[in-house]
Amino acid sequence: MLPRSPGPTRGRGRGRPPGAPRRGLPPPWRPAWLCCWVLAGCQAAWAGDLPPAGRPPPPCQEKDYHFEYTECDSSGSRWRVAIPNSAVDCSGLPDPVRGKECTFSCASGEYLEMKNQVCSKCGEGTYSLGSGIKFDEWDELPAGFSNVATFMDTVVGPSDTRPDGCNNSSWVPRGNYIESNRDDCTVSLIYAVHLKKSGNVFFEYQYVDNNIFFEFFIQNDQCQEMDTTADKWVKLTDSGEWGSHSVMLKSGPNILYWRTTGILMGSKAVKPVLVKNITIEGVAYTSECFPCKPGTFSNKPGSFSCQVCPRNTYSEKGAKECIKCAEDSQFSEEGSGECTERPPCTTKDYFQIHSPCDEDGKTQIMYKWIEPKICREDLTDAIRLPPSGEKKDCPPCNPGFYNNGSSSCHPCPPGTFSDGTKECRPCPAGTEPALGFEYKWWNVLPGNMKTSCFNVGNSKCDGMNGWEVAGDHIQSGAGGSDNDYLILNLHIPGFKPPTSVTGAMGSELGRITFVFETLCSADCVLYFMVDINRKSTNVVESWGGTKEKQAYTHIIFKNATFTFTWAFQRTNQGQDTVRQ
């Protein structure tokens, strides 16, 4: 504490002329200068000795905090409060105010602007579900999801006798979808959500292999199933197609489980379950809009979804429009986040077909580029399309057909037969024709067969050939990616048993036999499927990997309309093929 200054003196100082210096003191300006210097020094010393914690924090600005709602009380009310952002120290936060009711939500394409508690439209390049959340990007496991793997106890022994357990088994993100395990572990993909009001969960899935069990169910926070009457077993889908599944959700905590268990049968590979586009409704409100993922865009405010960029364009995250690729040197698939350089053309970029036979019994070999064409002919080491037009002798007609001098084959009339090289002849007395189709020559696709290409998005592969006729066999086409399914269908309107067995119970009405081989450089699968009376297509048998030439027979016991389907899933290396 500074000593108290003496008070003003009286006596001798009185009556001194104004401006006269006091005895023994410096000139009159020095005390004033010294006084200011001492005062400044004291202030500086006082401020420097004050600890930082004692300084008053600066006033809060809008960037220093964000708004949140409190938990709802028993009356369904809540408060909007300001929460300081991390590592921010400020004073004067806004006072709590009464919040919107707990069940309030904005419409699709809007978000709740928390400052004024009003719904506002999402800007271009973003979208909102209003009261929902959507998971459509699977480059990594989204926040909130988790994997739990166990091993199902069997008669062989419990999981602790298994050498490596199931530590490495999980659902794996694959970009646009997430893929289940392929082994015999039980793996659950789990997501927990707290709904402010009743809602629902919706997702798309692909489930083609009945050697893997696929369940979807919901539990509360007490690990009790919410609806024990609901069927938790998800239905199988057709190859190359996406199914959809939707379940109602109750308000409160909901724990969602996608659970798979593979059943290994020898060395046969299990096809995994694929899941995408998980949407959960009932979260009451969203305080922000979500940016469009790469390969999509939204070009108007208030969007509830993003549109897919067309082929040969791309977009980055949060795009308002798609950007064209350099047409001569780049390409992109539909929904791409970047452009890819066009590679030089190779022999895998074209295919050959045989024209119908002409009047001279000749067929032309034609070469065509696989569409859409993405390769370049002007690059070093690129090949050009071989010239078309070479003529060759047509193969004979298939058994049961004949050539009447025209350019095509015709079925033999009733009561006659032919091996395909000669005219049709009447059956000997006491016999009848053995009706059926026998395809030995593949110059043109038979009239009761069709071919197509499907990808996992359940859309045609944009003009790509599924299967190609090749003289003495038919073979799978090139496809476009390792998610393509190359489809070959054979339609049979019905079966007529021979007269000698008509009316017999449990007799064989017919059979289908085919010879095939698969040549695969990596993973590939050939499926043989049957549909009866256009109800549902079921997988009868499948073969994975390279297989030597072999025959397979399927017996028919029912007179009905049948569609037989061969579906081949290839890798992206081009040399994988199947022949029949």
Q: Is 479 left (phi over 0), alpha (psi -120 to 50) or beta?
A: left
Task: Please indicate, yes or no, whether residues 539 and 480 belong to a single structural domain of this protein.
Answer: yes
Greatest distance between any 2 Cα atoms in the chain: 165
Q: What CATH number does the domain containing 237 carry?
A: 2.60.120.200
Task: Please indicate, yes or no, whether residues 114 and 174 belong to a single structural domain of this protein.
Answer: no
* Token pair in block for residue 102: 């707990």
Task: Please indicate, yes or no, whether residues 527 and 556 belong to a single structural domain of this protein.
Answer: yes
**Residue 334 belongs to some domain of the structure:** no
Look at residue 198 in the predicted model and tell me its pLDDT.
87
**Residue 83 belongs to some domain of the structure:** yes
**Residue 21 belongs to some domain of the structure:** no
End position of a domain, from candidates 127, 143, 176: 127
- Environment class of 231 (CB within 10 Å of its CB; exposed 0-12, middle 13-18, buried 19+): exposed
Between CA 477 and CA 452 the distance in angstroms is 10
Domain count, the chain: 3
**Residue 84 belongs to some domain of the structure:** yes
Task: Please indicate, yes or no, whether residues 504 and 537 belong to a single structural domain of this protein.
Answer: yes
Q: What CATH number does the domain containing 474 carry?
A: 2.60.120
β pairing state of 97-98 and 474-476: unpaired
Task: Please indicate, yes or no, whether residues 113 and 74 belong to a single structural domain of this protein.
Answer: yes
Range of the domain at 461: 446-580
Between CA 439 and CA 218 the distance in angstroms is 52
**Residue 427 belongs to some domain of the structure:** no
Task: Please indicate, yes or no, whether residues 78 and 136 belong to a single structural domain of this protein.
Answer: no
The pLDDT tens digits for 357-381 are 777 778 888 888 887 888 999 999 9
Could you tell me how many residues make up the chain? 580
Report which secondary-structure segment, H or E, holds 32: helix 29-48
Between CA 193 and CA 284 the distance in angstroms is 12
End position of a domain, from candidates 105, 127, 149: 127
**Residue 537 belongs to some domain of the structure:** yes
Task: Please indicate, yes or no, whether residues 96 and 200 belong to a single structural domain of this protein.
Answer: no
**Residue 212 belongs to some domain of the structure:** yes
If the chain, 580 residues long, is cut into consecutive pieces of 10 residues, what is the mean pLDDT of each piece? 41 41 39 36 39 74 90 84 88 91 86 91 94 90 91 47 70 93 92 88 92 91 60 83 90 92 76 93 84 95 94 96 95 92 90 78 84 89 91 87 80 91 90 88 87 65 72 78 80 77 64 90 84 83 88 89 88 57
Task: Please indicate, yes or no, whether residues 114 and 147 belong to a single structural domain of this protein.
Answer: no
Task: Please indicate, yes or no, whether residues 165 and 123 belong to a single structural domain of this protein.
Answer: no
Look at residue 6 in the predicted model and tell me its pLDDT.
42
End position of a domain, from candidates 110, 127, 144: 127
Q: DSSP for 435-500?
A: -------BSS--TTEEEEEE-TTSSB-TT--SEEE-BS-EEE---SSTT-EEEEEEEE------GG
Look at residue 498 in the predicted model and tell me its pLDDT.
65
Task: Please indicate, yes or no, whether residues 122 and 162 belong to a single structural domain of this protein.
Answer: no
Look at residue 54 in the predicted model and tell me its pLDDT.
63
Report which secondary-structure segment, H or E, holds 46: helix 29-48
Amino acid, res. 75: S
Task: Please indicate, yes or no, whether residues 273 and 147 belong to a single structural domain of this protein.
Answer: yes
Task: Please indicate, yes or no, whether residues 455 and 548 belong to a single structural domain of this protein.
Answer: yes
Look at residue 151 in the predicted model and tell me its pLDDT.
76
**Residue 324 belongs to some domain of the structure:** no
Look at residue 138 in the predicted model and tell me its pLDDT.
92
Q: Which residues pair with 392 in a beta bridge?
A: 363
